[in-house]
Amino acid sequence: MRHRTAIASITGPLPRFSIVTIANPKGGVGKTPLAVGLNAIIAEHRGAATTVCVDVADVGGSLADRVSIPPRDGHDVRSLIAAGAAAPGSIRPSALSQYLTRQPGGDDIVAGNNGAHGSSLGYDDAQSAAQILSQHREILIADTGNNRLAGSWHWATTHADVLLVPVPLRRDAAAAAHRMLLDLTTTAGPAMMARTIVVITDGPGDAPMVEIDAVDAFLDAGVHSVARMPFEPLFASGERIAPSKLRRSTTEALTVIASTVIDLITHAAD
């Protein structure tokens, strides 16, 4: 019943184009696998061409290396921005497909900035990409990097309708996430915590005793939602992620997280 209820929430109407940001300044905490999995689950239930995951790291992260179908040359955020600048107003859906990479489940991804020209992805760059995609998709999932000083990181966290924070049960990862949330509360206000979901993830080398302290610290900071993600070997392997090969427990957890995301977006509009 819980699973059916979650699916019903995912398929419900959305008030507007929404941005879901996945952030934790600590590297190796599972931001990209969570982004890939969430993107696939939402597309599975809302339909193809409803959601897009964008690598908004200042210099491209690992999104292109983790999805089932890798992007071809030119299927990246820099090319998308350039196309938008060349066609002010709107990019036609047929032209948009030149810059997105469709995955088997109908979800799309946009690869990150490859840094070929020595420039990092800035605040205005991320805003431009989102503006283009907002005309064709319902949800943008922003897969952030680890540089909190990057303009694109600042854009993704300040424009998030929902902030997802993956936290493995390691003290360094939990501490980094906690500091980040306290800083965001200072800059964006306490309302940010009401639309934040901390995702506690299991993995090899975790210290279960960390969970009690970590969850208490996040709740004390004002976070309203704490979710659980079981250990997923495919996420931990570093290999490409085929959603059909995920464990059932992983798919169920992603479905619950996706429904919570949609509920937060809907309730924020109310």
Domain assignment present for residue 3? The answer is no
As a whole number, mean pLDDT of residues 242-259 equals 96
Domain assignment present for residue 1? The answer is no
Answer yes or no: are the C-beta atoms of 211 and 219 closer than 8 Å: no
Answer yes or no: are the C-beta atoms of 103 and 40 closer than 8 Å: yes
The CATH number covering residue 183 comes to 3.40.50.300
Domain assignment present for residue 40? The answer is yes
Domain assignment present for residue 223? The answer is yes
Query: How many domains does the chain contain in total?
Result: 1
Q: What is the mean pLDDT of the chain?
A: 91
Q: Flag whether pLDDT at 157 surpasses 70.
A: yes
Residue 107 and residue 138: Cα distance in Å, rounded? Answer: 12
What percent of the chain has a predicted confidence (pLDDT) above 90? 70
As a whole number, mean pLDDT of residues 254-265 equals 96
**How would you class 214 by CB atoms within 10 Å of its CB: exposed for 0-12, middle for 13-18, buried for 19 or more?**
buried
pLDDT tens digits, one per residue of 68-113: 999 998 899 999 999 998 876 678 888 898 999 999 999 999 999 8
Q: Is 184 helix (H, G, I), strand (E, B) or coil?
A: helix
pLDDT at 56: 97
CA distances from 102 to 96, 131, 242 (A): 11, 20, 13
Nearest to 37 by CA among 241, 240, 196: 241
Q: 10 Å Cβ neighbour count for 222?
A: 15
pLDDT tens digits, one per residue of 101-122: 999 999 999 999 876 655 899 9
The boundaries of the domain holding residue 84 are 16-269
Domain assignment present for residue 7? The answer is no
Residue 116 and residue 162: Cα distance in Å, rounded? Answer: 31
Answer yes or no: are the C-beta atoms of 52 and 141 closer than 8 Å: yes
Domain assignment present for residue 183? The answer is yes
Only one residue has tokens 């929902």, namely 162
* pLDDT range class, residue 262, cuts 50, 70, 90: very high
Only one residue has tokens 């810059």, namely 99
pLDDT tens digits, one per residue of 218-238: 888 888 899 999 999 999 999
Nearest to 30 by CA among 214, 204, 150, 209: 204
Domain assignment present for residue 6? The answer is no
Domain assignment present for residue 38? The answer is yes
- In the chain, the largest separation of any two C-alpha atoms, in whole Å, equals 54
